[in-house]
Amino acid sequence: MTSSTDRVAIVTGGSGGIGRVSVERLARDGLAVVVHYAGNKDRADETVASVVDAGGRAIAVGGDVADEHRMGAVFDAAEQEFGGVDVLVHTAGIMPLSPIAQLDLDTFDRVQRTNVRGTFVVDQLAAKRMRAGGAIVNFSTSVTRLQIPGYGAYAASKGAVEALTLILARELRGRDITVNAVSPGPTATPLFFEGKTPEQIDGIAGANPMGRLGTPEDIAEMVSFLAGPARWVNGQVLYVNGGAA
């Protein structure tokens, strides 16, 4: 495996929430980072600036995560700017909530396109183009175990992400590339807070054995581990949720 100062990471959804904190953590670990964004270029540029101001290396590249041509260009940029790709951290996803009986099918299709097809697209590119010693870190959710009403479409998409993760890990036999999925529990990000009352947020935090919500930094700690020293962790779904059932 190349040294951390020679390693290059692509972080999808790297302009906010868990993605941004993961970018900053990987940069502190010595990796050059490609900050992928879907629509918010200004926020991605701010993330890049925070890395560069701290002495790191980063660029921002936009694109629809489910578009293989746009995401191919993200990998092209990583190779042209930094020499290759060693780590993929795929945080990009959407989470509209609705009971299954009331969910509009167009919304269901949009969730599956972004979360399932998007994962397939970037994982396929990584499988073809990642250097030996690499690490693919997909994102699932603890909701696949918690079965919270309203999360049907999202949990279904993340169940598919877990299946892709476990199969790809075995398909990459002999490549020295690990493939794992991180499954956060409720985490204090804008995506989590959207549409919830203060009472709901307090209830969710209080139900956790640790008595709080997770933070993006908690999740980035696992990303750093899987992207770097965790060479014997492969084909796993790791629940990072403070002990939520």
Q: What is the side-by-side order of every strand in the sheet holding 237-240?
A: 58-62, 32-37, 8-12, 87-90, 135-139, 178-184, 237-240
| Alpha-carbon torsion, ordered 76, 86, 114, 151, to 10 deg | -170
Residues taking part in catalysis: 154
Cα–Cα distance between 104 and 97 in angstroms, integer? 11
Q: By the 8 A CB rule, do 11 and 91 touch?
A: yes
Q: How, if at all, do strands 135-139 and 178-184 pair?
A: parallel
What secondary structure letter does DSSP report for 5? G
- CA dist 97 and 159 (Å) reads 16
